[in-house]
Amino acid sequence: MASFLSLSFLLIFSLCLSFVFAAAAPPPLDGLVPNGNFEEGPKRSNLNKTVIIGKRSLPKWEISGIVEYVSGGPQPGGFYFAIPRGAHAVRLGNEASISQYLKVKPRAIYSVTFGATRTCAQDEVLAVSIPGQKSELPIQTLYSADGGDTYAWAFRAPSGVVKLTFHNPGVQEDPACGPLIDAVAIKEIPPLKYTKGNLVKNGGFESGPHLFTNFSTGVLVLPKGKDPYSSIPAWIVESLKPVKYIDSKHFLVPRGRAAVELIGGRETAIAQIIRTRPNWRYTLTFTIGDASNGCHGSMAVQAFAARETVRAAFVSTGKGWFKTVSFNFRATSTRTRITFYSPFYHTNINDFAHVCGPVIDDVRVFPVRK
């Protein structure tokens, strides 16, 4: 009897400890980093006009080189700064950088979402990095004409604390030039599981980078060559140009809270490798449409699976519309790559500098019933 009571006590004690540790575990990161919108500015005594004086004068950040604290609107010298996500931003001069230490989970995947805009017509590059992982973004291409481009960059945490750095590696002819950063957020990307009846992981694109709530022109997800860890888990951006991750609050999304817009024509493709059985037949279904964002014209999405392909075409008026497409294919190996791209280039009907494209959502693959 005594041994039974002791065993019961140990079990109850272990359960209590499990609940305590579970309650103490920090929730997954998903939001702005400390002072990620730069609304907490330096003291006036630490500013020389707009230039920040002092390595730690920008709250929660470390700076190196010439970093300016700027406000949106007209600027001296004829510049105009579009800062759509708030009132303030930082501008990185030649070889300048800002950094912040973040607590993360070792070996977990994180996606950093940030607003970045060029300020001059010259070629501008923005490097984003943690120790051992780095990417350089050519930001001379404006995907949103109002300057509201938002990017996502993913990394695997090598330790419990990482130093996130944004750096302007270029030396511009005009020292007044340099990229603007107006918002920085981070999100932990949890491991994915299969949905019952679907061989595609994250087929509805519900798992993805952090989405800013107050302003969105979508989030540009970088090609694999620029970012080996995808901010849209399970999917590979196999192209020269990024794809755009869009949300249902600011765009028409066929199903759920998110989808992908193929904005770069033949230079934008997204793919996933799924498990299949050789010689088995499968059905691939997916939904295409327009995001109700003024993207217009004759659109098409080209889909590939094993040796089969289909081109799904439609005409968009830019006011929101979608349809579901399906076709069968026979697997030729234990791994099958499914790929989607848009063969045409598109722009907004009211703004030809604003590139856009067809939307893809709700991708499913399942065996054909015999």
**Higher-confidence position of 228 and 58:** 58
* Beta carbons within 10 angstroms of residue 237's beta carbon: 25
Q: Name the β-bridge partners of 100.
A: 164
Tokens of 188: 């932990």
pLDDT in tens, 276-290: 999 999 999 999 999
Q: Are 270 and 241 in contact (CB under 8 A)?
A: no
pLDDT in tens, 271-327: 999 999 999 999 999 999 999 989 989 999 999 999 999 999 999 988 889 999 999
Residue 309 has a pLDDT of: 95
Residue 269 has a pLDDT of: 94
Alpha-carbon distances of 41 from 44, 68, 70, rounded to whole Å: 9, 11, 10
User: Which residues, in sequence order, are CB contacts of 208 under 8 Å at separation 6+?
Assistant: 111, 152, 219, 221, 231, 232, 233, 245, 258
Residue 370 has a pLDDT of: 57
| Domains with residue ranges and CATH for the chain | 30-189 (2.60.120.260), 227-367 (2.60.120.260)
Tokens of 15: 């359960």
